[in-house]
Amino acid sequence: MAILKALVVDDASFVRDLVKRTVRQRFPVIETTDAQNGRRAQSLMSRTSFDLVLCDWEMPEMSGLELLQWMRQQPQYQKVPFIMITSRGDKDHVIEAVKEGVSEYLGKPFSPDGLSKKIIKVMGRRLKDAMDRSGKSLEGPAEAFKESAALLTQKREAPASRPEASKPEPVADNPLLNAGSAKAATGKPQTRGVMSMASVRFSDSTLKSVVKDINLTEVRVIAKRDQEFPGILDQAVVDIDMGDGQMARLNGYVHQLQAVDKRQDTDFVSVTIRFVDEDPKKLEDLSRFVARFRASNR
pLDDT digits (tens, 9 = 90+) for 23-69: 999 999 999 999 999 999 999 999 999 999 999 999 989 999 999 99
- Indicate if the pLDDT at residue 222 is higher than 70: yes
More confident residue, 52 or 281: 52
- Mean pLDDT, residues 167-177: 42
* CA-closest candidate to residue 149, choices 85, 74, 82: 82
Whole-prediction pTM value? 0.74
- Indicate if the pLDDT at residue 283 is higher than 90: no
The pLDDT, as a whole number, for residue 296 is 83
Hey, do 4-153 and 171-296 end up sharing a CATH topology, with the first three levels equal? no
The pLDDT, as a whole number, for residue 94 is 84
Pairing of strands 4-9, 235-243: unpaired
Q: Which CATH architecture has domain 4-153?
A: 3-Layer(aba) Sandwich (3.40)
- Indicate if the pLDDT at residue 110 is higher than 50: yes
Tell me the pLDDT band of 189, cut-offs 50, 70 and 90: very low
Domain boundaries, the chain: 4-153, 171-296
Kindly provide the b/e burial profile for residues 261-274, where b requires at least 16 CB atoms within 10 angstroms of the residue's own CB. eeeeeebbbbbbbe
The pLDDT, as a whole number, for residue 5 is 97
The pLDDT, as a whole number, for residue 297 is 80
The pLDDT, as a whole number, for residue 157 is 40
- Mean pLDDT, residues 2-25: 93
- Mean pLDDT, residues 170-185: 41
The pLDDT, as a whole number, for residue 81 is 97
* pLDDT mean across residues, the chain: 81
The pLDDT, as a whole number, for residue 177 is 43
Q: What is the CATH number of domain 171-296?
A: 2.40.10.220
Q: In the chain, what percentage of residues exceed pLDDT 70?
A: 80
Pairing of strands 82-86, 52-55: parallel
- Indicate if the pLDDT at residue 156 is higher than 90: no
